[in-house]
Amino acid sequence: PLQVRGPGLGVVGVSKGAEVALAMAAFLPQVVATVWINGTAFLHGNPLVYKDLRIPPIPYYTERVIFTELGALDNSAIFADPRDPAYGASAIPAEKIRGKVLFVVGESDRSFNSKLFAELAMARMPLESCRLLSYPGAGHLIEPPGSPLCSISSIRGTPRPVVWGGEAQP
């Protein structure tokens, strides 16, 4: 079981929640442990506003949505390349994180290029403060062992189901 023995807090986030968890770790000193699962290391869609700080988002390009043969949405191409210097101000300042971060990545994620985002964040952090667990064949929704695979599901705000990717065994 995951435990944080005080003082301090641990946060766990998946997808957009991982983006939020990474930002919490960067700005809130009480966060000492973070588990980041298939997220981003840059703001997407909405800005982050904290005290006097405003981090602008990288835009979504909805015209890049791919429709699968089942009619589901594949969002893997809707994000701009975070390595483009034009989006440097959208990076979550991972170098400010004082605690430990575990990055968990499904290499067949069809929502984000999560491995790229993890690597970009880790490049700005001390090696001893972060670790990457990368699973070939796993998709966006990494569930506890023995859970059924959810490779496509409906989410609020989307007109059709969304493809998460992955295979059952990985």
The CATH number linked to 69 is 3.40.50.1820
Q: What is the pLDDT of residue 158?
A: 84
Please say if 109 is a catalytic residue. Answer: yes
64 occurs within a structural domain = yes
Please say if 44 is a catalytic residue. Answer: no
- Which residues have a Cβ under 8 Å from the Cβ of 68 and sit 6 or more positions away? 74, 163
Strands of the chain, DSSP E: 9-14, 31-37, 48-50, 53-55, 66-67, 73-74, 100-106, 130-135, 152-153, 162-163
Please say if 84 is a catalytic residue. Answer: no
Flag residues of the chain having pLDDT under 70: 1-4
98 occurs within a structural domain = yes
Which residues form the domain of 52? 9-163
Q: What is the pLDDT of residue 125?
A: 97
Enumerate the β-bridge partners of residue 72. none
Q: For strand 31-37 and strand 100-106, is the pairing parallel, antiparallel, or unpaired?
A: parallel
Q: Which of 15, 108, 111, 151 is catalytic?
A: 15
Q: Which of 44, 108, 109, 111 is catalytic?
A: 109
**Domain count of the fold of the chain:** 1
Q: Which of 44, 108, 140, 151 is catalytic?
A: 140
Q: For strand 66-67 and strand 53-55, is the pairing parallel, antiparallel, or unpaired?
A: unpaired
pTM of the full structure = 0.90
